[in-house]
């Protein structure tokens, strides 16, 4: 199972501490899943917003002409779950958030399982507020 975990907390000591807590929690949850189900083939792919380009693509384009685009589609399709958390310095309208926003939108368009914390939740709200998407199905606890 391929699990993409995006660190949008930044490189500051506080950001690193927050991300390590986030990562630890995710691994702890999947360890419990493994204990109950016997599934233990979890592959954690850890990226930051500036290194997401190989998982993003133009959803509405025809990939037959561009091998990079086709490879990015395959990379994205190989993901089973996406976890994103981070600080507000990656606001949806900032250029540094382009790949992060694109990833969130792709998760919506393809119904990929997405945990959207912090900045990813802000991106979802931005898409809803601007009419970029019609609706999201949000699961919060039970």
Rg (CA), the chain: 15
pTM for this model (two decimals) = 0.87
Q: How far apart are CA 128 and CA 135, in angstroms?
A: 7
**Structure tokens, 51:** 């290194």
Q: How far apart are CA 72 and CA 3, in angstroms?
A: 16
Q: Nearest 10 degrees: CA dihedral of 56, 57, 63, 68?
A: -50
Digit-by-digit pLDDT tens for the chain (142 residues) are 999 999 999 889 999 999 999 999 999 999 998 998 888 899 999 999 999 999 998 887 766 666 778 889 999 999 999 999 998 777 777 888 889 999 999 998 899 999 999 899 888 888 888 876 665 566 665 5
């Amino acid at each position: 199972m391929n699990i993409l975990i995006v660190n949008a907390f930044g490189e500051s000591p506080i950001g690193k501490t927050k991300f390590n807590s986030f990562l630890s929690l995710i691994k702890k949850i999947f360890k419990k899943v493994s204990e109950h189900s016997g599934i233990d083939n979890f592959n954690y792919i850890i990226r930051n917003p500036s290194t997401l380009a190989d998982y993003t693509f133009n959803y509405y384009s025809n990939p037959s002409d561009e091998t990079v685009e086709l490879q990015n589609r395959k990379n994205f399709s190989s993901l089973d779950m996406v976890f994103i958390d981070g600080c507000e310095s990656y606001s949806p309208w900032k250029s540094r958030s382009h790949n992060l926003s694109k990833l969130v939108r792709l998760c919506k368009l393809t119904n990929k399982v997405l945990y959207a914390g912090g900045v990813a939740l802000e991106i979802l709200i931005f898409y809803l507020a601007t009419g970029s998407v019609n609706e999201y199905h949000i699961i919060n606890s039970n």
